[in-house]
Amino acid sequence: MARVATGRAHDLVGATLWSVVQSGSIIVVLIGWELLARSGLFTAFLLPTLSSVLARVVEDATSGLLFFDLAVTLYRAVLGFAIAAVAGIALGILIARIPAIHWLFDPIVSIGFPMPKVAFLPVFMLWFGVYDFSKISMIVFNAIFPVIAATVAGTQGVDKHLVWSARSLGAKPGEILREIILPAALPQILTGLQVALPTALIVAIVTEIIMGGDGLGASMIRASRYADSPGVFAGIVEIAAAGWLVIKGVEWLRRRLLVWHQETQGLATM
C-alpha cells in the first residue's frame, strides 16, 4: 500500500510539474506584460499593468458583475451550441445516409463552411433585432457548420462491412444507427463539437460587442466607451479565462465519452 501511495504521489507531482512546463509560455507573456507596462514605453491608458488589470478582475468578481456577465455570455453560447450540436449531428447523418438530402445540402455546407458568417450579422440584426434571439441565432448559424462537416465525415467513414453484417443479421435501421454508426463516428463528431463550442463563445462575444446589452463583450465595449483601459483589458483576461475553461471542459467530456476508444487508452498508458 505504501508503494502504491508513493507511486500516486509521484504521478501527481509529475503531472503538476508538466502542467507548469506547458503553461511556461503563458507565464512568460504575463511577466513580460507587467514589465513592459512598468517600463515607461507606454502610458497606463494604452497598456495598464497586469497587476492593475487583475485587481479590476477581482473587483468585478467581488461586486458580482463578473459572474453575472459570465453567466449571460455562457447562457447564449451554450444554448446556441446545444442547438447547433443537435441539429448539426442530425443533418450530418441525413446528408451522409440519404442521397437526395446529400444532393440538396452538400453544396450549401461546402460553400457555407469556409465563409466568414459573421458578415451576416447586420442581416440578423435587421431580421431579429438586437436581443437574445438574434444573438443565439447568429451563434447557431456559425457553430452548426463544423458539426455538420465532422458528422458527415465520421458517418461516411464507418466501415460498410459492419453495416452490411448488421443488416444481414436482421438489425433495424435505428439499431444500426445507435449501435454501429454513432459509436464509430463519435470521435470525429466530438472533434466537430470541439471546434463549434469555442466558435459559439467567440460569436457570443462579438454579438455582445456590436449589439450591446449584457455579457462579457458588452461590458468590455462599455469600458472602452468610457476610456476605462483597465476595464477593457480585464474583459480580455476574463474572456480568455472563460475560453480556457470551456476548452478544458470539452476535452474532459471527450475523454469520458471515448473511454473505450484507442485514443483515450493511448493517453492513459503514456
pLDDT reported for residue 261: 61
Domain positions in the chain: 71-269
pLDDT reported for residue 84: 95
Distances (CA, A) of 10 to 5, 18, 142, 261, 264: 9, 12, 44, 27, 22
pLDDT reported for residue 154: 87
Closest CA to 258 of 202, 212, 191, 159: 191
pLDDT reported for residue 159: 72
- Which residues are within 8 A (CB) of 222 and not within 5 positions of it... i.e. 6 or more apart? 231
Backbone angles phi, psi at 4, to 5 degrees: -65, -45
User: Model confidence over 208-249: pLDDT tens digits?
Assistant: 998 888 888 889 888 888 888 888 999 889 888 888 888 888
| CATH fold of 71-269 | MetI-like fold (1.10.3720)
pLDDT reported for residue 4: 47
Dist. CA 220–CA 69, nearest whole Å: 10
Helix, strand and coil in the chain, % to nearest 5: 85, 0, 15
Q: What is the 3-state secondary structure (H, E, C) of 91-154?
A: HHHHHHHCHHHHHHHHHHHHHHCCCCHHHHHHHHHHHHCCCHHHHHHHHHHHHHHHHHHHHHHH
Dist. CA 11–CA 36, nearest whole Å: 37
pLDDT reported for residue 270: 47
Q: Which residues of the chain have pLDDT under 50?
A: 4-5, 268-270
pLDDT reported for residue 178: 74
pLDDT reported for residue 207: 92
Q: Are 224 and 215 in contact (CB under 8 A)?
A: no
Cell triple for 246: 470551456
pTM strictly above 0.85 = no
Three-state SS at 214: coil
pLDDT reported for residue 15: 52
